[in-house]
A = this chain, B = another copy of it.
């Protein structure tokens, strides 16, 4: 039986810009600005939760994007966040979009921050989930025992490892994780496939670079005037919530929403709430983050 989720059936498209070919999916409609979704470490177009994207696509066009070297996009994965931000900007330019809203999850949230630092007008409203500012702490240290245990466990096959590392190990966290993995498996064809070690290594280099403090710590955040919604699970082991605290303490126009009994994948665990909150935030007509 085909999936009931529009997102699981959306076809992948390709856009040629300056010698690169970017893979993306574009679907949904409504009065909102298009929302660009920037993905997590090793994640592809196939890693977006169809329950979440279907709900978000009810009121606006969504654009899921494979950065350079990811999925079926050409090129090599940059080893800096700035390199990824430049690809995302080139892609938007290629689409002819002067501005849009941006949802960046994890690695994608770093790319989103760098995009608006590089060119503020590229984005109207910003949603940063499970991410960190430059100079943040304890960013994606997969060698930590709490994470390594699951990553090295051969019984965690395919998306199964995401159930363990994106969700709390409580019954409700694991139940939500199992449902998430089921939804990822809804797509049967037109797949990106799984990212390999070259992708992981390059992105990990970008994390290590992003962890470095440059100049006065967090000073660049104070120049980002965009209305921003920051979201994090309180038990995020991959990019701990302290990074979200530093974001809202330094971004001048940001609201923080935290979820209980949730880890890195809080937006998938609580996809109904997240879509409602994100929708309310994106629907604000003025230039305040408060909704």
Contacts and interface: CB of A to CB of B under 8 A. Distances in A.
Interface in A237-291: 241, 245, 248-249, 251-261, 270, 273, 276, 289-291
A116 interface: no
B255 A258 contact: yes
A270 B258 contact: no
Contacts of A251: 260
A284 to B, nearest CB: 9
Contacts of A261: 252-253
A272 to B, nearest CB: 9
Contacts of A248: 234, 258, 260
A255 B260 contact: yes
Interface residues of A, number: 22
Given A234-B248, A273-B290, A290-B273, A255 B253 contact: no
Given A245-B245, A273-B291, A259 B255 contact: yes
A256 B258 contact: yes
How many copies of the polypeptide does the oligomer hold?
Answer: 2
Contacts of A241: 245, 249
A260 B252 contact: yes
Contact of A257 (B245, B256, B270): B256
A257 B256 CA distance: 5
A253 B260 contact: yes
B249 A254 contact: no
Contacts of A260: 248, 251-255, 289-290
Contact of A290 (B253, B270, B289, B291): B270
Contacts of A255: 257-260
Contacts of A258: 248, 255-256
A38 to B, nearest CB: 23
25 contacts: A234-B248, A234-B249, A234-B256, A241-B245, A241-B249, A245-B245, A248-B258, A248-B260, A251-B260, A252-B260, A252-B261, A253-B260, A253-B261, A254-B260, A255-B257, A255-B258, A255-B259, A255-B260, A256-B256, A257-B257, A260-B289, A270-B290, A273-B290, A273-B291, A276-B291
Given A234-B249, A241-B245, A259-B290, 6 more contacts: A248-B258, A252-B261, A254-B260, A255-B257, A257-B257, A273-B290
| Across the A-B interface, the 5 shortest Cβ-Cβ residue pairs | A256-B258, A273-B290, A270-B290, A248-B258, A254-B260
